[in-house]
Amino acid sequence: MLGCLATLVLLVALASPSDVVVTLSSGRGSCAVHGSFAAQVPRTVAWRVLTDYDSLGRFVRSIEASHLERQPDGRVLVRQTAVGGPFLLRRHVRVLLALELDPDRRIGFHDVLGKDFQSYVGEWRLSADSNATWVEYQLDAEPRGFLARTFCRGALRNTAQELLTQVRDEMIRRAEKESPR
């Protein structure tokens, strides 16, 4: 265990500010992923990318559909359909995410649909310094079904790595587009 921790600390120390770092853990029937990266973009640009719910499928390849739904009671929900999984076992998953927003700082979410997951809870966190915006992503998921739980770790690692890389790249693209020349 200590060797794994030392390796993780070394990887984080060697990572450049733009590298995406993803770590996994698992419990009884659930999988957890934590990922992070730094992007040399203003925090406001990072926030706009993360909250561009209706356009996520344009820059995150695994998302087939994503739509913001404002409820009469003031709740904000995002309905998403994504495709994921290893090799030929790729499948569609559906979530209806209830959001908790702390503008420019945090997006908390949890699935209220319950179709493909027993539990699906996570968050995005933003922090900034004079050089970059730091983005952290955390997800704890417990898929429904034995097969889905069996492949959860591998699928979650690959999906999270791709998600974070694609989100980071979109942040950089938008910041470059907005910067004066």
User: What does the pLDDT look like over 69-90, one tens digit per residue?
Assistant: 999 999 999 999 998 765 556 7
What does pLDDT average to over the chain?
85
Total Cβ atoms within 10 A of residue 8:
12
Output 12 or 61, whichever has higher pLDDT.
Answer: 61
Instruction: Give first-to-last CA distance, the chain, whole Å.
Output: 49
Q: Would you kindly state where each structural domain of the chain is located, as residue ranges? A: 16-176
Does residue 19 sit in helix, strand or coil?
Answer: coil
pLDDT per position as a tens digit, 118-175 = 999 999 999 999 999 999 999 999 988 755 555 565 667 788 999 999 999 999 999 9
**Rounded CA Rg of the chain:** 17
Q: What is the pLDDT of residues 58-69, one digit of tens each?
A: 999 999 999 999
Cβ-based neighbours of 164, under 8 Å, separated by 6 or more: 20, 22, 35, 36, 37, 135, 137
Ramachandran category for residue 150: left, alpha or beta (phi over 0 → left; psi -120 to 50 → alpha) = alpha
> How many Å apart are CA 82 and CA 99, to the nearest integer?
18
26-50 pLDDT, tens digit each: 766 678 999 999 999 999 999 999 9
pTM attached to this predicted model = 0.84
Higher-confidence position of 24 and 173:
173
Span 17-26, average pLDDT: 82
Residue 151 CB-density burial (10 A; 0-12 exposed, 13-18 middle, 19+ buried): middle
Domain 16-176, CATH homologous superfamily name and number: START domain (3.30.530.20)
